[in-house]
Amino acid sequence: MSTDKRFLNEAPVNLPANQIEAKFNSDAMVDVLHKLNIDYVFLLPGSSYRGLHDSLVNFGRNHKPKIVLATHEQIAVSMAHGYAKASGRIGVCILHDLVGLMNGSMGVYNAFGDHTPLLILGGSGPLDPADRRWIDWLHCASTQSDIVKKYVKWSEEPTTAQWHLDAIAKAHKVALTAPCGPVYVTLDCGIQEQKIEGKLTVPDPKFFQPAPATAANPDALEAAADALLAAKLPVIVGGRFGINPAVTKPLAELVELTGAVYRDDLGVICLPTAHPQNVSGDRNIVTEADVVCAIDCRDLSSLLDSYTEQKEKVGSGQQRPGRKVIDMSLNEMAPSSWSYLRGPQPLVDVQINCDALLGMKQLSDVIRNRLAKDQKAQANVEKRRKVANERHKTLRAQQQERARKGWDDKPIRPARMVAELWEAVKHKNWLLAMRNQASFPEGVWQFPGAGYYLGPNGGGGVGYGPGAMAGAAIACRDTNKFCVGLMGDGDFSMSSGAIWSAVHNRAPMLLVINNNTTWGNDEKHQIHVAEDRKRPVENAWIGQRMVDPDIDHTMIARGYGAWTAGPIFDPAELAGAFKQAVAEVEKGAVAVVEVRTQLV
């Protein structure tokens, strides 16, 4: 690692002592970002925004926003995505013209599916043909945003200097207004590089903040309260809002007020693992329930069908006659006719369109008022609490037992790897940025509630993990949190260059690579197809395994400047390796530990 302070601080030199006035249009664009309180811009350089790049450095002095350099456009978008989720703020990235946007488009789709606020600025060749150099023709399209228009909330192609400033400000507001999502603004290269002519007005940021949270309809709240208090086995499911630490307390209050059984939606954490009504990991509970209250759950039909892999059982979610479904979310406010990422249309009995956190508090108020006047309802709630508590204790005991199965197996079972990692970090102020959903054992890692796990990528795009974790690590560095995550070898292989960005930006993190040497999810699919067709499952590995030669992921990570351990084949070595890795992260390192695991 270089000790040259120029590279360590990335502070520009030979600039005037006092802040200079904006002279070029791109200077004014940087001024807008600064006034919008943007700390970082994640980017891969490109000539189509060379004017803006110069202004970030020589006008903005590489401070607020500061440049975070990535090695691939998808990594840049994923870093902004991970940063946004870990910080609770908007993520901003800048992409080179057409080809850069094409490279980054998978990351944009992930953010769209994940309802993550991103401001994506894309350089473009000059709209005026007279201003185009030979290379600019390659960098021009009639409407560049067409590449991602199907999966952004809003896009703009401004053609004047003032319009550029106004578009950036509006994009900020649109991205952060619920339901959140990515927005895209094209920045004309010619306009960027022009000197300011006449007066440019930098938009006042107070007019471009997100709208207040949307409240719930009172009649819908009353209908939801009716259903929950009359139910025999109500189930409350918490969804994507689990990345917000403010969720835990009001969610626990609602669960306790109703006596409902609780479970997290797929790939999120909202309620403490130890909460006596939490049965997360019991996917079948929703098929037993007579009332399901889903709060901020993206794919409600799949949830109600218990995420079955049997296609004949995937439909509207009305798997059980007589079951009532309550949907509290903004799902109906964020339709997409291009992608079916939200699954089939669920059949909902009580639709509550609102901000989930605010609506949940409103619902608790209604139920609390009801209970104060109804002793019979209070007694029923107490009975349901006892049922939920017994299910919780039984389930957690079963989960702990399952996690110990094959404890000393070689290759290592993922559950042992997760358990040992938990022991190594549980006393730290940790944030779990990434995890392998399919191989992560429920009930082992003790989550205190919401805001401790950032959830999946939203769009299903492999290659998200390294960039998102590096972006999260920057946010954790700024808030003194211990960033930790697990990801598969395939995810790491696609975007390993993000390790360099984390090391370069002194963003400590502990990344564990769950290396089963295969595209595990797809190998399982090949096994299922072979079984269905009565063909040999022994061939399922062909076209899936990354062996001969094995990829040395630790060597790759060391090449990017990380501290590494592994690959680890013996489970007895896990505790020592993780302990040492934690110590390295606490000293400021990016630590990568590769563990050779079995396909489960």
For 417-469, the pLDDT digits (tens) are 999 999 999 999 999 999 988 889 999 999 999 999 999 988 888 899 999 99
Q: Around Cβ 176, how many Cβ atoms within 10 Å?
A: 19
Please report the pLDDT score of residue 291 as a whole number: 95
Contact partners, residue 265, CB within 8 Å, separation at least 6 = 237, 238, 239, 240, 242, 294, 297, 298, 303
The superfamily CATH assigns to domain 406-596 is Thiamin diphosphate (ThDP)-binding fold, Pyr/PP domains (3.40.50.970)
pLDDT score recorded for residue 136: 77
What is the reported pLDDT for 319?
Answer: 59
* Domain ranges (residues) in the chain: 5-207, 218-402, 406-596
Torsion sign over Cα 388, 390, 393, 394: negative
How far is residue 141 from each of residues 133, 146, 147, measured CA to CA in Å?
Answer: 14, 9, 10
Q: What is the pLDDT of residue 316?
A: 60
Give the H/E segment covering residue 565: strand 563-568
The pairing of strands 350-353 and 324-329 is parallel
- Here the tokens at position 90 are 């908007």
Which pLDDT does position 245 carry in this prediction?
Answer: 96
Residues of the chain short of pLDDT 50, as ranges, are none
Instruction: Find, among 281, 243, 247, 246, the residue nearest to 261 by Cα.
Output: 281
- Give the contacts of 130 (CB within 8 A, at least 6 positions apart): none
3-state secondary structure of 263: strand
What is the distance, to the nearest Å, from the Cα of residue 590 to the centroid of all Cα atoms in its chain?
20
pLDDT score, position 315: 65
Place of tokens 């089939």: 344
Beta-bridged to residue 234, according to DSSP, are 291
Place of tokens 């970030």: 56
CATH code linked to domain 5-207: 3.40.50.970
Distance CA 400, CA 415 (A): 10
Q: Residue 344: what are its φ and ψ, rounded to 5°?
A: -65, 160
Domain 218-402 class in CATH: alpha beta
Contact residues for 398 (Cβ-Cβ < 8 A; gap 6+): none
CB 363 within 8 Å of CB 357: no
Which amino acid does the sequence have at 97? D
CA nearest to 277, candidates 336, 236, 326, 224? 236
DSSP secondary-structure letter at 204?
A: P
- pLDDT (tens digit per residue) in 561-595: 999 999 999 999 999 999 999 999 999 999 999 99
pLDDT attached to residue 142: 79
Do the domains 406-596 and 5-207 match in fold? yes
Name 269's Cβ contacts closer than 8 Å, sequence gap at least 6: 242, 280, 447, 449, 450, 452, 453, 455
- pLDDT recorded at residue 588: 96
Of 451, 511, 501, the C-alpha closest to 474 is 501
Rounded to whole angstroms, the Cα distance separating 203 from 184 reads 18
Q: Which two tokens stand for residue 389?
A: 């508590």
Amino acid (1-letter code) at residue 120: I
Quick one: pLDDT at residue 7? 61
pLDDT of residue 554: 95
pTM of the predicted structure, to 2 decimals: 0.95
Q: Which of 259, 252, 336 is nearest to 295 (CA)?
A: 252
Number of CB atoms found within 10 A of residue 198's CB:
6
Q: By three-state DSSP, how is residue 195 classified?
A: strand
Nearest residue to 77 via CA among 490, 552, 470? 470
Helices (H), 206-331: 218-230, 248-258, 285-288, 300-304
Structure tokens at 94: 């800048």
- Beta strand pairing status for 154-156 and 182-188? parallel
φ and ψ of 542, to 5 deg:
-70, 130
Confidence at residue 308, expressed as pLDDT on a 0 to 100 scale: 64
Q: Which two tokens stand for residue 510?
A: 């502990």
3-state secondary structure at position 524: helix
pLDDT for position 114: 93
3-state secondary structure 363-416: HHHHHHHHHHCCHHHHHHHHHHHHHHHHHHHHHHHHHHHHHHCCCCCCCECHHH
Name 435's Cβ contacts closer than 8 Å, sequence gap at least 6: 453, 485, 486, 487
At residue 366's C-alpha, the angle toward residues 360 and 227, to 5°, is 80
Give the whole-angstrom CA distance, residue 452 versus residue 447. 7
186 near 95, Cβ under 8 Å? no
